Amino acid sequence: MSKTLFDKVWDSHVVRKIDNGPDVLFIDRHLVHEVTSPVAFLGLKNRGIPVLYPNRTFATADHNTPTRNQHLPVKDPLSAKQLEALEKNAAEHGIPYWGLGHEKNGIVHVIGPENGITVPGATIVCGDSHTSTHGAFGAIAFGIGTSEVEMVLATQCIMQPKPKRMRINIDGNLSEAVTPKDVALYIISRLTTSGATGYFVEYSGEVFRNMSMEGRMTVCNLSIEMGARGGMIAPDEKTFEYIRGREYAPSGADWDTAMAYWKTLHSDSDAVFDKEINFYASDIEPMITYGTNPGMGVGISRTIPTAESMEGGVATYRKSLEYMDFAEGEAMIGKPVDFVFLGSCTNGRIEDFRAFSKIVRGRKKADNVTAWLVPGSHKVEAAIREEGILDILQAAGFDLREPGCSACLAMNDDKIPAGKYAVSTSNRNFEGRQGPGARTLLASPLVAAAAAITGKVTDPRELLEPELA
């Protein structure tokens, strides 16, 4: 029988089917961070249960971590406590732990792929919603709650109702300065933040085939922001090349066995989806959000939609604009910007720093902008130095911080002050997300770089050298 990619991976991990209930799924890889794991470990302790497969579990510190002076003790007492708890729990259960300063440390969704933990056909969970990122490799990856983290630590299984299948197809070629982030923000603006609720999405078509692995990760990362349980892309040569030789990836004869399986991981030509959606690459321009959810995005050259043009939720819409201190019908171009944040599990990878540096090369940071450039991991940081990107950034008046989630959610020292506008490459623009009262404009690294140089919302196409576009 023909199957979708999602069905192939899901069905091969079902340990037991419960009548009229969820499936019990085997979980290949479990990623753990300091925020959602302490209570789960405590639960195990109280019940006297060990971690079943410590070697399928990987722990990193990312959310509560400072992005300056990581060699010094963490000042915030709550953060310090969370980090200590994770280190202690990992040591007690024999789980690899990559704490602050460790060469493999970084944001959980950046380090998984980087170290070859993320592979096609795997089931991957983490107590974190953006676990969907790992779907870029053709894995089924989704976020879970703390009680489920405990369940996975104890049994390496999870109970999950099977989501429905959606396919989003985009053919054609992306225009100049249109990045994977713009593709994702475009999809969410069209589907809304609940448009894929109850579904697991497969992205297909030329646009995703032509995308780098980093770009695919950005798109899958944002799947959760349209309500999807996760998103995935069929693995291809690019995927295999990315994984080959990474530390936790299969090697030798295991590589050949893995490849034989991975090559079967695509939706069969006559596979049936519960919902299919088609968009066209030529309709997408560099995007920016104007409101307080990731679905409130427009092409950067457009104006803020009027309340009348919104389908329902006018009161929420108006409240959102009030929070942003924006008015209906205003142009986005030219809006003043106080902060620029380049980083997060959405856009904190090397390709994002390359894109940012393309625009800032040979120019100067605007005086009115505070810029926080935060690599997603130490490996990204090392690549930024090795590729000479740091020199370009420094010459333009920027500096680099140390890896972590940083201003993506302000659970650490990096908080955007109340009332200030931040062009941010992260994934959420909810009220207070980047700090109490902070106002977030989600965008790509190119749009962020253009804002950092001009001090206002600027179309990146104006600043790109034609041959670099």
DSSP 3-state assignment of 197?
A: coil
- If one counts every other C-beta atom within 10 angstroms of the C-beta of residue 299, the result is 19
Q: Which does 35 bind (CB under 5 to 8 A by kind): ligand IPM, ligand SF4, none?
A: ligand IPM
Ligand-binding annotation for 157, yes or no, is no
User: Any binding-site annotation on 408?
Assistant: yes
User: Cβ 123 to ligand IPM, closest distance in Å?
Assistant: 18
In the bound state with ligand IPM, the residue whose beta carbon lies nearer, of 359 and 409, is 409
Site residues for ligand SF4, 225-264, by CB under 6 A, read none
Of 52-60, 234-242, 316-324, 404-412, which part binds ligand SF4 (CB under 6 A)?
A: 404-412
Integer angstrom CA distances of residue 52 from 44, 55, 89, 164: 11, 9, 14, 30
Using N-to-C axis directions, what is the helix angle for 146-155 and 38-47, rounded to 10°?
50
Cα 159 from Cα 139, distance rounded (Å)? 18
Longest CA pairwise span in the chain (Å): 64
374 scored as a contact of ligand SF4 (CB under 6 A): no
143 binds, among ligand SF4, ligand IPM, none (CB under 5 to 8 A by kind): ligand IPM
Would you state the torsion angle of the CA atoms of residues 137, 140, 146, 149, taken in this order, to the nearest 10 degrees? -90
Instruction: Please give the Cα distance from 331 to 334 (Å, whole number).
Output: 8
Question: Which of the choices ligand IPM, ligand SF4, none does residue 448 contact, using the CB cut-off of 5 to 8 A by kind?
Answer: none
Q: Rule CB under 6 A: which of 409-428 touch ligand SF4?
A: 409, 426-427
Q: Which is nearer to ligand SF4, 13 or 415 (CB)?
A: 415
H/E stretch holding 164 reads strand 164-171
Q: CA 407 to CA 342: how far, in whole Å?
A: 9
CA distance 39 to 46: 10
In this structure, are residues 61 and 144 in contact, taking their beta carbons and an 8 Å threshold? no
Residues 61-80 that bind ligand SF4 (CB under 6 A): 62-63
The 323-362 contact track toward ligand SF4, x by CB under 6 A, reads: ---------------------xx-----------------
By the 8 A CB rule, do 306 and 432 touch? no
Give the footprint of ligand IPM on this chain (CB under 6 A). Answer: 35-36, 63, 128-130, 143, 409
In the region spanning residues 179 to 208, those forming contacts with ligand SF4, defined by CB under 6 A, are none
Q: How far is the CB of 347 from ligand SF4 (least distance, A)?
A: 9
3-state secondary structure of 106: strand
Closer to ligand IPM by Cβ: residue 121 or 375: 375
Do residues 226 and 192 make contact, with C-beta atoms less than 8 angstroms apart? yes
Q: CA torsion, points 30, 35, 39, 44, in degrees to nearest 10?
A: 30
DSSP class of 416: P
Work out how close the CB of 63 gets to ligand IPM at its nearest, in angstroms, rounded to a whole number.
Answer: 5
Query: Closest approach of Cβ 128 to ligand SF4, in Å?
Result: 5
Considering only the stretches 24-32, 43-51, 244-252, 405-413, report the one whose residues sit in contact with ligand SF4 under the rule CB under 6 A.
Answer: 405-413
Indicate whether 107 belongs to the interface with ligand SF4 (CB under 6 A): yes
Is 405 an interacting residue with respect to ligand SF4 (CB under 6 A)?
A: yes
- Partner from ligand IPM, ligand SF4, none contacting 344, C-beta within 5 to 8 A by type: ligand SF4
Q: What is 350-365 written as a DSSP string?
A: HHHHHHHHHHHTTS--
Q: Residue 36 or residue 192: which is nearer to ligand IPM going by CB? A: 36
CA distance to 5, 119, 165, 191, 419, per residue, from 272 (Å): 11, 25, 8, 21, 48
Given a contact cutoff of 8 angstroms between Cβ atoms, the answer to whether 208 and 241 are in contact is no
* Binding partner selected for residue 444 from ligand SF4, ligand IPM, none, CB under the kind-specific 5 to 8 Å limit: none
**Residue 66 binding: pick among ligand SF4, ligand IPM, none (C-beta 5-8 Å cut-off by kind):** none
Annotated binding site for [4Fe-4S] cluster: 345, 405, 408
Annotated binding site: 345, 405, 408
Binding interface with ligand SF4 (CB under 6 A):
62-63, 107, 109, 128, 130, 344-345, 405, 408-409, 426-427
